[in-house]
Structure 1
Amino acid sequence: MCAEVRTDVNMKPYREALALPGLRSLLLVAVLARVPLTATGVTLTFYVVEDLGRGYGAAGLVGAAITVGAAIGGPLLGRLVDRRGLRPVLVLTAVAEAVFWSTAPMLPYPLLLPAAFLAGSLALPIFSVIRQSIAAMVPVERRRPAYALDSMSVELSFMVGPALATASVTAISARTTLYLVGAGIVAAGVGLWLLNPPVRGAGEPVATRRRVPRREWLTPRLLAVLAVSTACTLVLGGTDVAVIAVLRESGEVGWTGVVLAMWAVASLVGGFAYGAVRRSFSPLALMAALSLCTIPVGLGGSHWWLLCLALIPAGALCAPTIAATSDAVSRLAPPEARGEAMGLHGSAITVGIAVGAPLAGAVIDAHAPLWGFAVTGAIGVVVALLVLPVELRHRRTAAILTAGPPEPALTPVP
């Protein structure tokens, strides 16, 4: 009986959020739409290495070109959503994606690099649009479970997308998989166009050409949240590479999929718990805890099952940290600039992953695999310490505003 009541209490925030009109369909489309996007990196790597006969460094440059393009284009596309609405941006990016993925298998490597950069700058903004729509559809007090569901759906997409791409390349070919991935991305754009989720709440102003000055909303606290987002994914990107390096050194590289799957499952469980609780957690505190839990992972031993156990605490904090940063950005950005703010958030996440993986790789090459965990985790802690004064200043200001002005002193009546 007690267990029954406890389960009901834990599920209540999710039931309340999913009861909101349109959220179920949005999250379902989000999972399906993100699968082909998460398969792009693996597919392009296989294509450059196998079909073009280039090395992994050349493949990494193509991935970097897309990443840099996405980091630059994300905020610009978000601003366009703010000013023109969602559907025109979806048409523009879906057409750009169709052109790139249909021509990429025919391009020589020197042309593939600039084409990848352009494709990244006009990439379908699924991640930022979904988060912007959640902010528009869900009241502030119910966004925590909604963003937790969104973070869990991202984990599911990353578990499915690369695996499907690898299976397709193995069964068919990398060139054909490029066409399939492109078709999936275009289909995702069409599906989102048909769904046409709102990017403004019912009581918020509709898309307008009026531009809200950045100085009004790009505050030190929002910049701090973006820094936390970058540090979080830097730690995650570094962990991804360090796991492979540890298992390769111990001769257990065949267990890589199992270890990464366990890491993802821990993230799903942590994301579920985060959305179920009523208490609010600071993105800074979650990122700091994630970083601290990552530092000693390499000391857990080189056996795959010890690595699985060592990754559980850090893994359980992945989805909650991403969800908390998304929630914070949605609260701090005004509706008129929320698309651009979510684009900046997406860019921050992208930059973190892009920096974390090669940074960990360089550290591992120079020292040992366990230092990949330690260095990236330590960087996360340093960012947390740098951002801490901004958070403390905000809390002091909030406490003063909550307390209100001091009561006037009573003067004696003569």
Structure 2
Amino acid sequence: MLKLFAHIGIRQAKNIAKLILGYPVSYPSLGSMTLDKDDVIIARSWLKDRPDWNNNELVSEYEKQFALWNGSKYAFAFMGGRVALSACIHALDLNSGDEVIIPGYTCVVVPNAFQFAGIKPVYSDIELETYGLDASLIEDKITQNTKAVMLHHLYGLVCRDYEQIINIARKHNLKVIEDCAHSTGAEYKGIKVGNYGDAAFYSSEQSKIFTTIQGGIAVTNNDVIAEKMREYYNQAPIPDDIWIDKQLNNVIFNYYAFKHPQRWLLGDIARLKYSRKQLISTTHEEECGIQPVHYGRKMSSPIAAIGINQLKKIDHYNSIRRKNALRWDEWCNEKKYKKPVVIDNSVPVYLRYPVMVEQQKKINTSWASKELGVQAGVWFMSNIHPADRPVNGCPNADKAVKQCINFPGLLK
């Protein structure tokens, strides 16, 4: 605690100096930017009223509302996108010894979910227009053990080879999982992504399109697959009261630390109050490929209440993201950088705006705050972010690791 006090003292002294000199004291955050005071009110209300924490009715309502909004027949709410992926794996009858083709440019929790089930992830390279799987390389990866392909819509873009990937999978009788963790609300041909494959998962982790701090949803439009998802869902435990308490307190903390207009000051006050209750999105265990003891849980009512409130605002915030992307379009044009590709008939949501820059500009991103008044995100710093696991034969992914930065989609 003394160390925390010292860090805060130094930071606030610097902030006061910045105020005196007329410099900005905070920048747009890269996460939790859809949290508002109404979410804080809901979190505080649930912290005061605990008897209904394990009542599943509100979770069912959240699932129903998400399915309706997303255009999906079935939706199941879990405590993480990674857990929702595990539900998809179970629902598709993927078994130990099977292989699944996935992008060689992803988050560590994705291959973990497969490996926890005894399934071998086979990495395939991406294209550098939308950072999705390159369809032209997939068939070379297919073996007699391949049972599925997992495509992703990264940074809120609809992946360039969406239809081709699905067609290849159908040709080889493979299941399709859609990773929509970055792209909740993005559309292709008037239908939201996640509804073209066999199953899909979404994330409401604190850095995503909408947030419940931690959370995820699995969807499908297939009755048989839905029954298997429900089977996984029914055996999943609800988080204990200690975890729910922490998550609700993190809603309050994240609002003051990352969203409030005076977060430069109130964020540090919140750190003093909530430091012992902060949750880590990806633990050291997960980075090492070890399944955490709290893995595999379904959502609780208090968190579903936050999700329902976030769902009311998601279209509004996605509209703002698209408007803000125009600023980054102009910057790319001015600086002669290639803009990310928006494929025909698609509507992106720009969780972040990815750009390939010189390697040095990714190594040291201080130029972004000085020149543009924003922090540049550095997703991904490794092929299997944030773990330093080797991935061979994915040169485009390697290049993106070295050069891709990403600007925030929400600027205030």
Give the TM-score normalised by the residue count of structure 1. Answer: 0.27
* Structure with more helix by fraction: 1
Greater radius of gyration (CA)? 1
